[in-house]
Amino acid sequence: SQKIEQNSEALNIQEGKTATLTCNYTNYSPAYLQWYRQDPGRGPVFLLLIRENEKEKRKERLKVTFDTTLKQSLFHITASQPADSATYLCALDYDGGSQGNLIFGKGTKLSVKP
């Protein structure tokens, strides 16, 4: 069955540094991969989507890479700020992208210290 792993449960970094979060998957070839942010007690908020034929996608201080050979996505936040502290979830479609149903990883809790 499909499996998604976000390698770190928690990541602590200093303000201004670049945070790098990892998402690995097995037994699967997704059509796309998404990253969401979730704050405590709230629903996830969509951040970025990257398709299988895209290597990299950027949005402001965020960058996502997608390596279908390694079956891995990296999510970077540059010039991190305390306001970036949250849990970040990666999600894959599991039906070839036709219906939008997603499998989520457990998430990585990012803490940015001032």
Partner 1 sequence: DTGVSQDPRHKITKRGQNVTFRCDPISEHNRLYWYRQTLGQGPEFLTYFQNEAQLEKSRLLSDRFSAERPKGSFSTLEIQRTEQGDSAMYLCASSLTGTVHEQYFGPGTRLTVT
19 versus 50: smaller Cβ distance to partner 1? 50
- Minimum separation from the CB atom of position 81 to partner 1 (A): 23
Give the residue from 44, 45, 75, 46 showing the smallest Cα distance to 62. Answer: 75
69 versus 99: smaller Cβ distance to partner 1? 99
- Minimum separation from the CB atom of position 113 to partner 1 (A): 22
Applying CB under 8 A, which residues contact partner 1? 4, 9, 32, 34, 36, 41-46, 49, 89, 91, 93, 97, 99-107
13 versus 48: smaller Cβ distance to partner 1? 48
Phi-psi sector, 100: left (phi>0), alpha (psi -120 to 50), beta: left
- Minimum separation from the CB atom of position 47 to partner 1 (A): 9
CA distances from 2 to 31, 47, 98 (A): 13, 23, 17
